[in-house]
Amino acid sequence: MDTPQLHAFVAVVDIGSFTRAAARLNLSQPTVTSRVKSLEQGLGTTLLERLPSGVRPTAAGSQLLPYAREIISLTGRARQAIVADGRPHGRVDVGTVESLTSYRLLPMVEYLYRRYPDVQVALHAGAGPDAVAAVREGRLDCAFVVGSPEEHEGLETQVLCPEPMVLVSSPGWHAARGPVTMDVLRATPIIRADTRAGYQLQFEQTLGLRDGADRPRVFDLDSIDAAKRSVALGIGMAFIPLVSVKRELAEGTLAAVDWAPPFETWTQVVRRRTRTPNSALDALVATAVEVAAEHLDDEPVLAAS
C-alpha cells in the first residue's frame, strides 16, 4: 500500500468514475485502474464495486477511506514540513455555514493570511451537520458550526463565542398578523440561508415543525443576502445570527420579532483528535481565539466564550 495507490482509490471514490478520476490525477485510466487493483491485491479484499451507474466503495473500502485520506494528508504535510523551517504551512479545508462565512470567518482569514503567508484556507459553506461527518471522515480539517455545544465522538470541540440569534421579519409583519403566538409563527413561511445549520434545526424542532404534516412553506437559499432581501419583501421570517442583520435592524429594513429561543447557541470549531502535527490547522484555530480576544468589547469577530 503506497500513497499513489491511495490517491487513485480516493479519487475514484470521490468522483465515482475511473475515467474522471484519471483526468483529475492527470493519469491514464489504465494507470488508475492498475493502482486500485494493486491496492486491493495488497490488502486481499475488494475495495470498489463497479456498477452500471458508477463506482462506489464496498464495506472494506468505506473503512479504508478515512485512513487513506489521512495518509495522503500526512504525506503532503511531511513534505511541506521539510522545507517550511518550522513555519505554519499547508492547506486547511474548513466547513462552515453561509452566515458565518461573511460575518465571522473572512476577518479571521484576512488576519491569518497576513501573519502566515504559507497557509492556505479553503472555506466550504452549506454543509451544516454534514460538515462534522466530513471532519470525522477526513474530508475536512475542521468545521465552524453554530448551535448548542455537544460532544462528537472522536472529535475535539472548542466553543469560541456565544452566537446571539434573532427572528426577523419585514417591518410590516406585526401589523399584518397581530400578536406573536406560536400558532402565528408555525403558520408563517420560513426563509433559510443555512438550510442544515444546527441552530436552524433547533429552531424548527422548538416550533414543532420538523415532522409536522401541516408545516409552513420553506424557502431555501444559499445566500445570506438573498435571505435578508426575501424577508424584507415579506415572503416570510428567518431565524438568523444577529451579527448578520445588525445593520438592517438599525436601518429599519428588517424588524426583530418579539420571540426568544428557549436554547442558547454558540459558534464552535470541531476538529479530529490526533497527535499528528498540523501546523496550518493549529495556526487557524489559534488565530480564531486571538481575534476573538481582540474583538471582545467591539463588534465581535469570533468573540471568546
Separation between Cα atoms, residue 62 and residue 137, nearest integer Å: 10
Consecutive 10-residue averages of pLDDT for the chain (305 residues):
85 89 86 88 88 86 87 70 65 88 85 89 77 87 88 86 91 72 83 84 81 70 89 92 92 91 90 81 86 53 37
C-alpha cell at 181: 403566538
Q: What does the pLDDT read at residue 295?
A: 54
- Which run of H or E residues covers position 133? helix 129-137
Nearest to 15 by CA among 1, 29, 34, 2: 29
Classify burial at 73, counting beta carbons within 10 Å of its beta carbon; exposed 0-12, middle 13-18, buried 19 or more: middle
Read off the C-alpha cell for 220. Answer: 431555501
pLDDT digits (tens, 9 = 90+) for 55-96: 888 999 898 988 888 887 777 666 665 444 567 888 899 998
Q: How far apart are CA 113 and CA 111, in angstroms?
A: 6
**Phi, psi at 284, each rounded to 5°:** -65, -50
- Residue 77 contacts residue 261 (beta carbons within 8 Å): no
pLDDT of residue 78: 63
Cβ neighbours for 249, distance < 8 A, ≥ 6 positions apart: 166, 168, 255, 256
Alpha-carbon separation of residue 34 from 4, 61, 70, 71 (angstroms):
11, 16, 22, 20
Look at the pTM and tell me if it is higher than 0.85.
no
Q: Which residues contact 233 (CB under 8 A, 6 or more apart)?
A: 170
Q: Which of 77, 74, 72, 70 is nearest to 118 (CA)?
A: 77
DSSP 188: S
Note the pLDDT of residue 142. 92
Distance CA 209, CA 214 (A): 8
Would you state the pLDDT for residue 297? 47
Complete DSSP assignment for 191-226: EESSTT-HHHHHHHHHTT-SS-TTPPPEEE-S-HHH
